[in-house]
Structure 1
Amino acid sequence: MAVARRFGTTRRTATALLAGTIGLLSPLALTVPAGAQEAPADGYFAAPPPVDMDKLIPDERRPDKKYKPSKACVQRSTLGQNIVLKNRPWGQEYLQISKAQEIVEAATGSVGGGVRVAVIDTGVTRHPWFQNRLESGGEYVATPSKGQPDGLEDCDGHGTEVAGIIGAKPDNPEVGFIGVAPDVTIRSYRQLSENYEPDTSTATPPASSTTGGAPSSSTTPPTGSNTAPPPSGGGNGSEGDGTSPGQTNGGRQLEKAGTAGTLKTLAEIIRGIADRNEADVINMSVDNCRPANGSITTGEQQVQAAVHYAASKNIVIVAAAGNATDTCPQNDQPDARKPKTIVTPPWFADDVLSVGAIEGETGSVAPFSVHGPWVGVAAPGTKIISLDPAEGSDSLANLTFENGDKASEIQGTSFAAPYVAGLAALVKAKYKQLDAKGIINRIKETAQHPAAPGGRDNFVGYGVIDPVAALTQVLPSEVGNQAPMPAPQLAQLPPANDHNSAPVIVALAGTAGGVVALLITLFVMHTIRRNRPAGNTSPRR
C-alpha cells in the first residue's frame, strides 16, 4: 500500500509540474509571430508578398529597349509539303472538345463568338484558319516590317501555335484539328522573342529579305514542320547559343540573356489591355523562372500589380506553369512551402490561373511541368498539333526543330495553357452573368480532382480540366453556397380507411378476454389455498 501511495504521489507531482511548465510556456508561444513559427530554415516562401499597387506602371506601347534580329525567322519545311495532318490531336479527344463545342453552339449559336482572347507571346502569324478574327494588339520587340501590323509577325513560331490551339478554324473538312473556341477573336501582342537580342550599337540593323527583319538563310531549319527533319548543316544561331529557330523545351523565357522580352513590358501590356478593355481572357505562355530566395524583384512586383489590376477589371488571366530545365529546376523538394524555383506570373495565383501539363493518353503529369502551390489546373501539353507558324503557310505542324537538325514533338506547358484559355472563352460565352472569378471557379470546381486533401495537389492543381462539366454542371457556389434542393418525393401509400371499426373491436375483445381469464385464474388459486387444512405440516414422502 505504501508503495502504491508513493507512486500515486509521484505521478500527481509530475503531472502538476508538466501542467505548470505548459502554462508557463504558453504565453511565450503566443508572442512568437505566426510567420516565424512556420518559416523554413532557409527563409524561402511559396506565397508572394502582398500586392504593391504603387508598382503598377503605364503602358508605353513600345519596346523597352532597342533589339535587333539574331536568328532567321521560322520557315516552312522544304520536305513533304503535301502532307496533310488529318488526325485529331489526342488532347482534343481526351477533353471531349467537340462535345463541349456542341453544347456552347446549341446555347449561343456560335463557339465563342463575341469573346476576345489576348495572346501575349512571340506574335501571331496571319494564318488563313484565323479568317478575319486575328487583330493587332501591340509590338514590344521591334519595329514591324513595312505594312505589317503590330504583333502580327511571329519570328519564333511559338505564339502562332498557342493561338491556334485557342481559336483556329480549319477550312478543310478532312482535318481533325480545331481550336477550342474557333469563333473567338484573337488579339496578338508580340512581347518577346528568342530570335532577337538587345542592340548595343547605334548602327541601323541590316536590311532583310524575310519577314520580321531577320537575316535570311536557306539552310535554317524550320520550326513546326510536319515532316522529317531537313538535311543537316542548317542553323545560324548566335554564337554561344547554338539554338536555331525553335522552341527549346517548349517554352519562352522572359529576362533571358541575349533575347528580347522583360517582365516590365509584360506588366505594361497587361495594364494596357485592362485600361483599353481589349480582352475578356489573357493567355500568357511566357514565364520568368528564377531560384527562390525569399525576395521579390521590381519586375515581379510590376507584373503582380498588373495582373491584380486586370483581374479587378473582370479579365480572366491564364498562364503556363513553366517548364523544368537545367536553369529552371523542378520543385521536387519534400516541403512545398520551400520551393527551389519561383515562376512568374504563375506565382501570383490569387489573380492568375496557372496551368500544368499532362502527357499522353494516360493523363499522367508531364515530367517537365513545374510543380508548385500556385498550380491551378492541368491540360494536355505533349504531342501537340497546331498551326504551322511559318509566314505564308496554310497547314499544320506537329514537329519543331532544335539545335540545327534535331526534330522533336511540340510540347510544354505553353500549349497546355491555351486549352484552358479556350475553355474560359467558352464558359464566358455560355455563362454571360459570371465574372472572371466565377469563370475561374467554375473551371476549377469541375476539374477532375486529384486524390489529395482538398481535391488539389502541387502537380495538377485542382485537376485536369473537364470542358463538358464546366459547361453543364450546376455548382453549389453559384446558388448561394448551398447544394441544389431536390424536388420533394411524395410517398405512394394506400389511402387510410377510417370508417372500418372491425380491427378496433377485435383488439378490444381480445384484451377483455385475456383480462377475464387472468381474473378467473387468480380466483381459483386463491380458493384452493384458503381451503387447505392448516395443520397439514407433515413432511412429504
Structure 2
Amino acid sequence: MLSLSRRVGAAALAGLMSLAAPAAAASASPPLTEPVITTDDTVRADQWQLEALDLADAWAYADGTGVTVAVIDSGVDGSHPDLVGQVLPGLDLVDTKAETVTDPVGHGTTVAAFIAGRNDDDNGVVGIAPKAKILPIRVLDEENRYDDALIVAKGVRWAVDHGAKVLNLSLGGSGSSATLAAALDYAFAKDVVVIACTGNASASSTSDNSGVWYPAREPGVVAVAGMERDGTTLWSGAITGKETVLTAPSTQLVGARGPDDYWRVQGTSFAAPMVSGVAALIRSRWPDMPAGEVINRLIKTADDRGEPGRDGQFGYGLVNPTAALTADVSFVTDNPLDTTPPPGVARFGSAPVPGQAQSAPEESNPPWVVTQAPTTNSGGWAAPAQPVDDGSGRTRWIAIVLFLISALVAAFTVRRFAGSAG
C-alpha cells in the first residue's frame, strides 16, 4: 500500500506508459525505461537545482511566506506529501462539476512542487519558495491540452481576483488570442507578475518550432527557456527567440506526481516555475514592491549567458535567486518588459472592467497544448505537441487621434486597429 512514502510505484509506471501511447510520439523519444526513483533520499539527492541556484543562501532572506502563486495548468494534487498544506482551494475549468481541483495528468502537480514543495523534512521535492501558497486552476484536459484560449483567460482573471501575486503558465501554443491578451493586461493592471514557458520543440513536427509560444511572447510576460544541468548550455529542446527573457534549470529533473509518486521530467514547462518561485521570494521579502520592480530585479541580477547582454537564446541569462534578493538594483517605475503606449494612447488589448463587454468570441480552432507530458527516459517526451496557428492573429487597436481644436473645446479620441500577434 502506498501511503506517504514519496516513491515511484506501479501506478506511476502505468501512467507513464499510457502517456507513450500516441503514435505521433513514437519517433520523439526512445522506449520507456524502468521507474527511476525508488527511495526517499534519491529524490532529494536529485534536486540538483537547489545547489545550482544557491537556494540555501537565498532562503536566509526570504522563503515565499505571504505570497500566493497561481498554477494555471492540469490541476494540482494537493494530497501529495510535498504539497500537503501548500495548496489553496482552486478552480476547475475543465470539469466544472468537480468539488475540488484534481490533476489527472500530473503536470500541474510537478510545476506546483517546483514552486512551493515543502522543505520541513529530508524527503521529496523542495520548491524554490517553500513557504509560498499554490492557487490551482485547471485549464488542461486529460491529454494536457486546451482547445480554446478563452479557458486560460478565464483562469488568469480568476487567479488575479483571488489573490495571486505571481501567475505561472507552463503552457502555450503557436496561435494567439485577443481575449487572453486582455486577461494578461488585467493581471498587469492588478500588479501581478506573469511568467510563462517559451515552449518545447517537437521531434515529430515542425509546426510548433517556429517561435516562442503564446502567451510567453506577449509583451510584459516573463518568457522562460530551459538550461542544461551544466548551467551554461541551452537545452536543445527549448524554443527560443527575441522574446526570451530568462533561463532556468530544465533537464534531469525529478518532479512530484500525485498522489505520492515521482518521475523524471524535462522541458521549459519546468524552467518557468523555477522563475515563478524566485519571483515569489522577491515578493515575500518586499511585499509592497511593484510587479515591474520584481521583474526588474529578476533580469538585472540574472547571470549572463551567451552573447553579452540580452540575446534571443538565453534572454538576460540564468535566474539568480540570491542576487535577486540582495543586489542593489536601480529603480524602475514600470514593468521593464511592458510596451504600453504613452499616456493618452490606448493600451493594446486593455482588459475590460468588471461588467464591461468582453472582446469578440475567442479563436477556437487551434489545439493549444502544454509542453509535452514527461516520461522517465532521457529522451524526455512522449505526448505529441503540435499547436497549430489558426492564422487569425490577435486584434489590437492602437491610437488614431482625431483633434478638433477651437477656442473653447478640445476633443481627443482613441481607437484601436487590427494587427497580428507580437
Q: Same fold (TM over 0.5)?
A: yes
2:60 to 96, 102, 119: 102
1:76 aligns to 2:12 (yes or no) = yes
**Aligned 8 A contact 2:225 2:247 in 1:** yes
**How much has 1:94 moved relative to structure 2?**
1.0
Note if contact 1:163-1:418 (Cα within 8 Å) is conserved in structure 2: yes
Decide which of 219, 225, 241 is 1:372's aligned counterpart: 241
Deviations 1:109-164 (A, max 9, x none): xx11110000000000021322322112211111455xx41x2x110110000000
CA distance in 1, matches of 2:286, 2:170: 25
- Deviations along 1:262-300, whole A, 9 cap, x unmatched? 2111011112223x242010001011125xxxxxx5xx1
Q: Is the 8 A contact 1:103 1:471 kept in 2?
A: yes
Matched residues in 1 for 2:84 and 2:258: separation?
A: 16
**Secondary structure class of the residue paired with 1:421:** helix
Say if 1:166 and 1:419, in contact at 8 Å, map to a contact too: yes
* Cα offset, 1:179, TM superposition: 0.6
Identical amino acids, percent of aligned pairs: 31
Aligned residue number for residue 33 of structure 1: none
For residues 170 and 77 of structure 1, the distance between their equivalents in structure 2, rounded to whole angstroms, comes to 26
Deviations 1:43-79 (A, max 9, x none): xxxxxxxxxxxxxxxxxxxxxxxxxxxxxxx933488
**Aligned CA-pair RMSD:** 2.5
Give the number of the structure whose alpha-carbon radius of gyration is greater: 1
The answer to whether the 8 Å contact 1:383/1:398 transfers is no
The equivalent of 1:464 in structure 2 is: 318
Of the three residues 107, 127, 134, the one matched with 1:186 is 134
Q: Counterparts of 1:458 and 1:330 in 2: how far apart (Å)?
A: 17
- Matched residue of 2:173: which SS? strand
* 1:331-342 aligned within 5 A: 340-341=210-211
Specify whether residues 414 and 90 from structure 1 end up closer, same or farther in structure 2 by C-alpha distance, changes over 3 A only: same
Within a 5 Å distance, the mapping from 1:107-122 to structure 2 comes to 111-122=63-74
Letter of the 2:181 counterpart: Q
| Aligned residue in 1 for 2:85 | 132
Aligned to 1:390, which of 255, 258, 273? Answer: 258
User: Per-residue deviation at 1:357?
Assistant: 0.2
Distance, in Å, in 2 between the alignment partners of 1:342 and 1:354 is: 8
The aligned runs of 1:191-210 (5 Å cut-off) are 191-195=139-143
| 1:284 matched to 2:242 | no
* Cα distance in structure 1, aligned partners of 2:206 and 2:66: 38
For the residues of structure 2 that align with 1:101 and 1:176, how far apart are their CA atoms?
18
Q: Deviations over 1:294-320 (max 9, x none)?
A: xxx5xx111111111111110000101
Contact 1:124 1:159 in 2 (8 A): yes
Task: Give deviations 1:453-478, integer Å, cap 9, x for gaps.
Answer: 6x111111111101111000001236
Pick closer, same or farther for the CA change 1:142–1:427 going to 2, 3 Å: same
Provide structure 2 residue ranges, at least 5 long, that are not aligned to the other structure.
1-9, 15-33, 335-422
Q: How does 1:23-422 map to 2 (within 5 A)?
A: 75-77=11-13, 83-84=39-40, 85=42, 86-104=44-62, 111-126=63-78, 127-143=80-96, 148-149=99-100, 151=101, 153-173=102-122, 175=123, 177-195=125-143, 252-255=144-147, 262-274=148-160, 276-290=161-175, 297=176, 300-325=177-202, 326-329=204-207, 340-341=210-211, 343-348=213-218, 350-387=219-256, 389-391=257-259, 393=260, 395=261, 397-399=262-264, 410-422=265-277
TM-score of the aligned structures, taking structure 2 as reference length: 0.66
1:509-528 map, 5 Å: none
- The 3 A distance-change label for structure 1 pair 342 and 89 is closer
Q: What's the secondary structure of 1:75's corresponding residue?
A: helix
SS state at 2:85 partner: coil
State the alpha-carbon separation in 2 of the partners of residues 117 and 285 from structure 1.
13
Instruction: Compare relative contact order (CA 8 Å, sep 6+) and give the higher one, 1 or 2.
Output: 2
- Give, in whole Å, the separation in 1 of the partners of 2:251 and 2:133: 25
Which amino acid is 2:49 matched to?
Answer: G
Q: What secondary structure sits across from 1:355 in the alignment?
A: strand
Q: 1:88 deviation in Å? A: 4.2
Is contact 1:192–1:254 with CA below 8 Å preserved after alignment? Answer: yes
- The alignment partner of 1:365 has SS state of coil
Q: CA deviation at 1:444?
A: 0.4
Distance 1:418 1:253 in 2: 19
Relative to the length of structure 1, the TM-score reads 0.52
Would you say the 8 A contact 2:296–2:332 is kept in 1? no
Show the counterpart of 1:424: 279
Give the secondary-structure state (helix, strand or coil) at the position aligned to 1:102. coil
Task: List alignment gaps of at least 5 residues for structure 1.
Answer: 1-73, 105-110, 196-251, 256-261, 291-296, 332-339, 400-409, 481-541
- Go from structure 1 to structure 2 and tell me whether the alpha carbon gap of 1:301 and 1:94 turns closer, same or farther (over 3 Å shift): same
- In structure 2, the CA distance between the partners of 1:131 and 1:176, relative to structure 1 (3 Å rule), is closer
In the TM superposition, what is the alpha-carbon distance from 1:426 to its structure 2 partner? 0.2
Q: Cα distance, 1:172 vs. partner?
A: 3.5
SS of equivalent to 2:60: helix
1:324-376: CA deviation from partner (whole Å, max 9, x where unpaired): 11435576xxxxxxxx335110110x221010001122430001111111111
Superimposed CA distance per residue, residues 11-40 of structure 1 (whole angstroms, 9 cap, x where no aligned partner): xxxxxxxxxxxxxxxxxxxxxxxxxxxxxx
Aligned counterparts, 1:488-507, within 5 A: none
Q: What is the rounded CA distance, in whole Å, between the counterparts of 1:367 and 1:313 in structure 2?
A: 36
Q: Which one-letter code corresponds to 2:141 in the other structure? A: S
- Closer, same or farther in 2 for the Cα pair 1:123/1:328, shift >3 Å? farther
Instruction: Answer whether contact 1:358 1:379 (CA < 8 A) is retained.
Output: yes
- Whether the 8 Å CA contact 2:212–2:244 is kept in 1: the answer is no
TM-superposed CA distance for 1:178, in Å, is 1.0
Contact 1:87/1:176, CA 8 A, preserved across alignment: no
- How far apart, CA to CA, are the structure 1 residues paired with 2:330 and 2:88? 38
- Structure-2 separation of matches of 1:169 and 1:421: 16
- 1:263–1:288: 8 Å Cα contact kept in structure 2? no
CA contact (8 A) 2:227 2:247 kept: yes
**Distance across 2 between alignment mates of 1:82 and 1:452:** 41
Question: What secondary structure does 1:356 align onto?
Answer: strand
